[in-house]
Amino acid sequence: MKRFVAWAAFIGGCLYFLLPLVGMTEFSLKMRRGEYSFDAYAKVFEDPNFWATFGYSLTLAAATIVFGVLLVVPTAYWVRLKLPQARPVIEFITLLPLVIPAIVIVFGYIRLYNTSSVLPLTGSGLGTDILLTMGYATLALPYMYRAVDTGLRTIDVATLTEAAQSLGAGWFTILARIILPNVLVAVLSGAFLTLAIVIGEFTMAALLNRPAFGPYMQLLGANRAYEPPALAVIAFAITWGCMGLIQLVTRFSKHERAKA
């Protein structure tokens, strides 16, 4: 009886998650009347705006990841090593993007960095791209910080640092050659989550008027019938691909197996 309930709950859960996906995927294949086809996908891939916006978002995601890693890894490391009493404060700060809506953040940016401000970032394309990257980094902060902090928890940060120092290493060497390689899987988890966030983000990109993938999806969704679900399936595949990559990296990382 217990076994039956467990299986029923499992199957119920699977149906709950899978049915909408199956329905969406099936609908995306029905562009050609009376038969299944990949016409909607072909249309999406033929659209130069798809590649342009996807490429743009991908570039910004890469920039966001680099900036996020450079910001979060040293911060989380330093807090763990020298300022453990500041951890609750830092954790609270990193959680703020979850409670402050993106629209509030972006309006704050526009107000602070408009063309008549001291730092008129919105006055140029590059400036706005930088602003958008900072915005994305802010949105990804809760995920990136937690991923890196969890990674740091699995190693003895203080002793490894002292061991490296006693061997003559400076801070940069310690971070680059000891800490970062040992939390690489955690950093990659944070990076892939950042990628997923950036690819699907709409509010910031739309309000800063940048040609990103999020606004493109919205535009397509408002004007077409079959292409939007095809696009959603593609976006979903990208996200799952990222998750799979995290798993792969974890599995093939030799020293990570030791920690498991």
**Contacting positions for other proteins (CB under 8 A):** 155-156, 159-160, 162-170, 173, 177-178, 181-182, 184, 254-255, 257-259
Write down the least CB distance from residue 151 to other proteins, Å: 12
Contact 124, 210 (CB under 8 A): no
- Residue that the structure tokens 């199957």 belong to: 11
Write down the least CB distance from residue 155 to other proteins, Å: 7
Write down the least CB distance from residue 167 to other proteins, Å: 4
Is the Cβ of residue 165 or residue 247 nearer to other proteins in the bound state? 165
Contact 192, 64 (CB under 8 A): no
Nearest-5° Cα angle at 192, 189 to 194: 110
Contact 221, 230 (CB under 8 A): no
Is the Cβ of residue 55 or residue 84 nearer to other proteins in the bound state? 84
CA-CA distance, 194 to 231, in Å (whole number)? Answer: 19
CA-CA distance, 103 to 256, in Å (whole number)? Answer: 39
Write down the least CB distance from residue 144 to other proteins, Å: 20
Write down the least CB distance from residue 173 to other proteins, Å: 6
Is the Cβ of residue 159 or residue 223 nearer to other proteins in the bound state? 159
Is the Cβ of residue 34 or residue 168 nearer to other proteins in the bound state? 168
- Residue that the structure tokens 């120092």 belong to: 165
Is the Cβ of residue 180 or residue 206 nearer to other proteins in the bound state? 180
Contact 72, 148 (CB under 8 A): yes
